[in-house]
Chain A
Amino acid sequence: MTAPAPLIEFRNVSRVYGRGEAEVRALDGVDLTIAEGEFVAIMGPSGSGKSTAMNIIGCLDRPTGGEYLFKNTPVQSLSNDALALLRRHYLGFVFQGFNLLPRTSALENVELPLIYKGVPAAERAARAQEALAKVGLSGRGAHHPSELSGGQQQRVAIARALAGNPAVILADEPTGNLDSHRSEEILILLQDLNAREGITIVMVTHEPDIAAYARRLVIFTDGRITRDEPVAWNQAAAAEAPI
């Protein structure tokens, strides 16, 4: 088995907020490499820098020290517009609070990244429908977020991340607002996307049984990585997966 190309590479990355007395070292010399096709879960206590790391991976933020390479390109030297292009073409986000546009149909929410990609209207609608079908919401395109359950809203959000054909899906506590049954559905969906479409997934979670769906577990403590190990094969998850 040849080593897959590194997609995400942190080299001694740090992120410092404030300065002087108020200085907070949210990330403090992190080395992390994630290859294409991985499914990584990030865990750690509150305030340990998980979200900070996700924001940097997602090109929403830049490190204050060290280097971040995305597809071997150093990100910290890129302009804001270049970061927007990276997000547009390679990254998909799934948030804890779903973050769908209110008063906008599910289909239009899913079309959003395609608008910024400049996809023509007809193709846009077709691709958005396709993405909705992948998350099992074929008939719900016309519904507004307020008419959907939490689990359905999160699936719309995943469809939106998916519609842009991303290399990576970044999910910061995607099941934080869902009960365990809905959480399981979402994780099975993510697992499926990872396995079938080869999409790299990086997910932050607080729950070990959610992390168990991933194939690699990274643990942050006080802005540093304190553990990084493969996830043991999870019988329970495997048994419930309908694949």
Chain B
Amino acid sequence: MIFQAIRLALRSILRNKLRSFLTILGVVIGVAAVIAMVTVGQGSSAQVSASVESLGSNMLVIRPGQRGFGPPSAGVPIRRFSLRDADAVATLPVAAAVAPIANATATLVAGNANVSTSITGTNEQYPTVANWTVALGRNLTPAEVRAGAPVCILGQTVRQKLFGAADPVGQAVRVKTISCQVVGVLAPKGAGSFGQDQDDLVLMPIRLVQRRLNGDDDVNGIQVTLSPGVGSQEGIRAIQALMRERRHIGLGEDDDFSVTDMKEVASMLNSVNSVLSGLLSSVAAVSLLVGGIGIMNIMLVSVTERTREIGIRLAIGASSRQVLTQFLVEAVVLSLFGGVIGIFVGLALAWGAGVFMSIPFTPDPLVILLAFVFSAVVGVIFGFFPARRAARMDPIEALRHQ
């Protein structure tokens, strides 16, 4: 009987292909939104935690200027950090490793190849602080850092572009007027939280960057790894106290620098993620509701159109339960069609978004199953009322219809 009902349902759905398709569009959109959202959401939160992990755990970033958005207040020039600030932070017991950073952008040339990349001037602590591994060659030495020696370590992307698969260690690259010797290559990290390529970088001794590329002695920021067992709040307090003293900030004055805990950034990114998911969920819920109402509407039309058929079936010996089953099955099959199409559309969207935002594509079979079940439930709920109307028809009146 159920099998028969499914066959009948398929037939009547296929008989009105366009109408059926328009009917299930709401369910398609709803399910596609759910699937796309969950798949992208899971991919990106997996990626946020992975990339935060790759930034280095227990890491604080100190930057000059007040924390917050927008331009700094007029007339208050940002007071820069210097290498002495970094040395002072390094003397704090809460700091296990400290890396000052000076950024520059420049074009590197090796043979015929050239690449424009961001150059991070720093010290030998940087790989430890920022969680990099030197895959080939070696790290910078303290002597090279002190002297500002013309050496560099390449990120994987830069190495690929300049040398391909060849071993660049010992080779020379030219940056502006400097001829730099490659001493090491970093292990790849992949895409960051915003989809940026983390491997597109070059490390150099900070003094080299300051003197030869930037022409000043600015330090753009200081990255600190806290000592084991030191909480981030404790670390932040200690650093704030030190920096306020060094920068002679009075009791009533605000900090003119910021100390950021990278874990906080991660949780902020995750909460942005969950707000977006919440938004999309409500879109999906509304869409499923509208889809359900669409199914109910078309089933009511169908029941009315087929009044005579219902009368015939009842006269021939169908029980009202069998009529109910027939129309309910039709609504569920219709809705499941929508669900299945929606699942495919959603997965395709998630895959596309994943490629676009370089987020991993991780379809979750449980979510797909849930979406399938849920679309069946939508069919049952919204198909019930029309089906009951069909089942409660008076056979004589139904036969007399039209």
**Residues of B298-329 whose CB lies within 8 A of A:** 308-309, 311-322
Could you tell me the distance in whole angstroms from the C-beta of B330 to the nearest C-beta in chain A? 15
Q: When chains A and B are docked, how far (Å) is the Cα of A115 from the Cα of B322?
A: 11
With A99-B308, A101-B312, A103-B15 given, is the CB distance from A116 to B399 under 8 Å?
A: no
Are A60's CB and B317's CB within 8 A? Answer: no
Among B311, B318, B320, B395: residue with most chain A CB under 10 A: B395
**Residues of B124-158 whose CB lies within 8 A of A:** none
The one of A103, A118, A160 in contact with B316, judged by C-beta atoms closer than 8 angstroms, is A160
Residue A174 CB within 8 A of the other chain? no
Are B399's CB and A95's CB within 8 A? Answer: yes
Q: When chains A and B are docked, how far (Å) is the Cα of A80 from the Cα of B314?
A: 10
With A115-B4, A118-B1 given, is the CB distance from A84 to B396 under 8 Å?
A: no
Are B321's CB and A60's CB within 8 A? Answer: no
Contacts of B314 in A (CB 8 A): 60, 84, 87
Could you tell me the distance in whole angstroms from the C-beta of A200 to the nearest C-beta in chain B? 17
Contacts of B311 in A (CB 8 A): 99
Are B315's CB and A58's CB within 8 A? Answer: yes
Q: Name the CB-closest residue of B to A51.
A: B396
The one of A55, A80, A99 in contact with B320, judged by C-beta atoms closer than 8 angstroms, is A80
Could you tell me the distance in whole angstroms from the C-beta of B364 to the nearest C-beta in chain A? 39
Are B315's CB and A81's CB within 8 A? Answer: no
Q: When chains A and B are docked, how far (Å) is the Cα of A118 from the Cα of B308?
A: 23
Could you tell me the distance in whole angstroms from the C-beta of A169 to the nearest C-beta in chain B? 12
Contacts of A160 in B (CB 8 A): 316
Among A80, A84, A85: residue with most chain B CB under 10 A: A84
**Residues of A113-140 whose CB lies within 8 A of B:** 113, 115-118
Residue A164 CB within 8 A of the other chain? yes
| A-B interface contact total, Cβ < 8 Å | 58
With A84-B319, A88-B316, A113-B317 given, is the CB distance from A99 to B1 under 8 Å?
A: no
**Residues of A73-121 whose CB lies within 8 A of B:** 80-81, 84-85, 87-89, 91, 93, 95, 99-101, 103, 112-113, 115-118
Residue A192 CB within 8 A of the other chain? no
Are A60's CB and B319's CB within 8 A? Answer: no
With A60-B396, A103-B15, A118-B1 given, is the CB distance from A84 to B312 under 8 Å?
A: no
Q: Name the CB-closest residue of A to B312.
A: A99
Are B309's CB and A87's CB within 8 A? Answer: no
Residue A61 CB within 8 A of the other chain? yes
A interface bracket (residues with beta carbon within 8 Å of B): 20 to 34
Q: When chains A and B are docked, how far (Å) is the Cα of A99 from the Cα of B309?
A: 8
Q: When chains A and B are docked, how far (Å) is the Cα of A80 from the Cα of B395?
A: 11
Contacts of B15 in A (CB 8 A): 103
Are B315's CB and A60's CB within 8 A? Answer: yes
Could you tell me the distance in whole angstroms from the C-beta of B396 to the nearest C-beta in chain A? 5
Contacts of A99 in B (CB 8 A): 308, 311-312, 315, 399
Contacts of B399 in A (CB 8 A): 95, 99
Could you tell me the distance in whole angstroms from the C-beta of B222 to the nearest C-beta in chain A? 79
Contacts of A164 in B (CB 8 A): 316-317
Q: When chains A and B are docked, how far (Å) is the Cα of A87 from the Cα of B399?
A: 15
Interface string of B373-402 (1 = CB under 8 A from A): 000000000000000000000011001000
Are A84's CB and B317's CB within 8 A? Answer: yes
Contacts of A88 in B (CB 8 A): 316-318
With A85-B317, A113-B317, A116-B322 given, is the CB distance from A60 to B395 under 8 Å?
A: yes
**Residues of A32-66 whose CB lies within 8 A of B:** 55, 58, 60-61
With A55-B396, A60-B396 given, is the CB distance from A87 to B320 under 8 Å?
A: no
Are B396's CB and A117's CB within 8 A? Answer: no
Q: When chains A and B are docked, how far (Å) is the Cα of A99 from the Cα of B318?
A: 15
Contacts of A61 in B (CB 8 A): 396
Q: When chains A and B are docked, how far (Å) is the Cα of A16 from the Cα of B229?
A: 92
**Residues of B76-98 whose CB lies within 8 A of A:** none
Are A84's CB and B318's CB within 8 A? Answer: yes
Are B309's CB and A113's CB within 8 A? Answer: no
Q: When chains A and B are docked, how far (Å) is the Cα of A91 from the Cα of B317?
A: 8
With A99-B308, A99-B399, A118-B1 given, is the CB distance from A81 to B316 under 8 Å?
A: no
Could you tell me the distance in whole angstroms from the C-beta of A174 to the nearest C-beta in chain B? 14
Contacts of B312 in A (CB 8 A): 99-101, 112
Are A112's CB and B396's CB within 8 A? Answer: no
Contacts of B316 in A (CB 8 A): 87-88, 93, 112-113, 116, 160, 164
Known contacts A87-B316, A113-B317; 4 additional CB pairs below 8 A are: A84-B318, A88-B316, A93-B316, A101-B309
Q: Which 8 A-B pairs have the closest CB atoms?
A: A88-B317, A84-B319, A87-B317, A116-B317, A113-B316, A60-B395, A93-B315, A116-B318
Interface residues of B (CB under 8 A from A): 1, 4, 15, 308-309, 311-322, 395-396, 399
Pairs across A and B, CB under 8 Å, 15 listed:
A60-B395, A80-B319, A81-B319, A84-B320, A85-B317, A88-B316, A89-B317, A91-B317, A99-B311, A99-B312, A112-B316, A115-B1, A116-B318, A116-B319, A164-B316
Interface residues of A (CB under 8 A from B): 55, 58, 60-61, 80-81, 84-85, 87-89, 91, 93, 95, 99-101, 103, 112-113, 115-118, 160, 164
